[in-house]
Amino acid sequence: MFKGRVFKAKGIGIRSGIYLALTCMSFTTWAQHKPSKKAEKRLNEAIDLYMSREVGLALERVDEALRLDAEFSGAWMLKSQLCEEKGRWECATHSLGQALEFQPDLRKKWHTKHVQFAFQSGQYDRAFKILEDGENLWKVHCKDSLLEASVRFAFGAVANPVEHTIAPLEGNVNTTMPEYYPALFATGDRMIFTRQIGGDARLTGQEDFFEAREDEFGFWRVVRGLNEINTPGNEGAPAVRGDGRQLVFTACAGIDGRYVGRYGEGSCDLFNSIWSARDGHYTPAANIEELNSRAWESQPSLSADGHWLYYVRAYHTESGKVVQDIYRSEWGGVAWGRPHRLPPEINTPGREENPVLHPDGKTLYFASNGHAGMGGMDLYVSRMQDDGTWSSAINLGYPINTEADENSLQVFPDGRTALFATDRSDPGNLDLWKFSLPEFAVAEKVSLWSGEVVQASDGAPVQATVVVFDIKGKQIGQQRSDAIDGRFTLSFPEDETVTLQVTHPDYAFYSKTHDSNSHPDGVVRIELTRLEVGTVLVLRDVRFARSSFELDNAFQPDLSQLASTLALSDIRIRIVGHTDNEGSEERNQQLSEQRAVAVANYLMELGIQSNRIETEGRGESEPIADNATDQGRAANRRTEIIVID
């Protein structure tokens, strides 16, 4: 069913091997209590059944032994192991506790296991008490520092629950079938999710994708199945670019090892599909061969601009250990780059899965059982720092996380509201629930910019590169406008002032600084003019010191973009400086010439040959606005680029 459930071991060190030898010893060398022969007979029958893997019948026999002799420590020990086999953690905890009560000399060896069972059952106060009561035993005999950290964390987390509201998603998305792995669009009102059809998706059922939209009343309605992607096989764990025009998802081989109508490398692979604006559906999915391997790749997450892809890779080592970590790859324009494993702040010797990058581009949510937590898979958050490193993972807290597995997280553009899959109201049937994040886990609220790039002459769409920079010149988003309709969608933190740049080697570039109030409706129409002799580019954001020809040392978005355009073409240009009418005419003429030369020098420092550049100053002689106003004078202080060859 889940793309993250290939490896079934759960919790922290759940299987530590069979302790049947000790069980046998415990009822043959009794230190304090000799069981009845009838009880011993029932226990021997239980052991035989257990060795034949008849766990249910073995439990019946061991219960019969305990009805005959309630102080039979060997029977309690075996019952503890049988309950562990069936994942009945409260039973395992109680049974092991009884065994240790009736045979105290075993406490030294089984103290850690007792703590573990209590923790796994969600009895955090009991686990903490067992840990504290046996502190000396723990220090001498236990080397499981993660279990100890988790017990202490969970005990404190339950005592200090995080504030949140939680409720099932309203509408018709949730059904009697399991729904999980939602993938939100950057608008926050559309998503693609996975639904299990029938039984176990790997055997008798299947997994399919559905699209849902939120209506004006806050209800989520299923609008269609993705029939162009769905097969009778196994699809799941979708990820979409912010505008929904790129879909990356997981498909897995069936029990026969084959994919349905697709080529696969390993047991589960990543596939890519592009939304066709002309046909109104996703194109046939292609295997992302550069990322897939003989291992297991799954659970992708695309950055809002589609430039970064996070996913999970899992494999078995030669010793049989499962390694399951989160990787990241950068889009190189033609193919995905070499993937890199995320650092220890995120990946651990345990299992990591379900990475989700928020549209703010730096807040990563993921699930793990390798960090201190509540048991099973917990949800965490980490943030990319300005230097590219990741902060330490922070547990989202109780009761968002519990002793069960939490997964399938998505966070809305507001950074405060999240979706995840849970069966807490209907055990065994996952549904999508909506909840509020605690303050420490909130991401930055983002503004969404949609637009189109067109040819100025006739409005024909242009497939150009659209890039967003923050005020320091750091790239925070990049996307290619669609060749069919010229559309693009990018997001950036709501309070950020950004520079939007659009380039194409055949057109004059666009560069303009915006904030979230520049276009209240979030729509930008960008008209590009073909580069030809006589084309004039007006640079309004060349940053000089006031009344000086010295360029500001801060980010120069227009000039960096001009250099990029020149590097992609063979054109020659004339740089023309203009000023307002403040100061003398002679001084303004000199200043305009000096500024044109300063721009030329800047371009040459970036590798543009001097023989491709001419300079000219026109002072205050060619105003384009009224010099009587501040706005007019600002418009007149400009640098023009004229294509001359």
Residue span(s) of the chain under CATH 2.60.40.2190 come to 445-530
Any idea which architecture 445-530 has in CATH?
Sandwich (2.60)
Q: Which two tokens stand for residue 485?
A: 């309709």
CATH fold label, 20-159: 1.25.40
Contacts of 148 (CB under 8 A, 6+ apart): 131, 138, 142
Q: Give CA–CA dist 82/55, Å, rounded.
A: 6
pLDDT of residue 518: 62
Superfamily name with CATH number, domain 531-645:
OmpA-like domain (3.30.1330.60)
C-alpha distances in Å from residue 607, one per residue of 537, 600, 601, 640: 20, 11, 10, 20
CA distance 490 to 360: 10
Q: Strand 394-395 relative to strand 378-383: parallel, antiparallel, unpaired? A: antiparallel
User: Is residue 423 a contact partner of residue 431, using CB atoms and an 8 Å limit?
Assistant: yes
Mean pLDDT by 10 residues, the chain (645 residues): 36 37 42 81 93 92 95 94 93 95 87 92 93 70 80 95 91 94 94 85 72 96 96 88 95 76 85 94 94 93 95 89 94 94 96 94 95 93 94 95 86 94 83 94 88 93 91 87 92 82 87 68 81 85 76 80 85 92 92 91 91 93 92 88 89
In CATH terms, the superfamily for domain 166-441 is TolB, C-terminal domain (2.120.10.30)
- CA–CA dist 388, 403 (Å, integer): 33
Alpha-carbon torsion, ordered 623, 628, 629, 632, to 10 deg:
-10
Residues paired with residue 227 on neighbouring β-strands, in sequence order: none
Structural element, H or E, at residue 221:
strand 220-225
Which residues make up the CATH 2.120.10.30 domain(s) of the chain? 166-441
Per-residue pLDDT at 510: 86
Q: Where in the chain is the domain with CATH 1.25.40.10?
A: 20-159
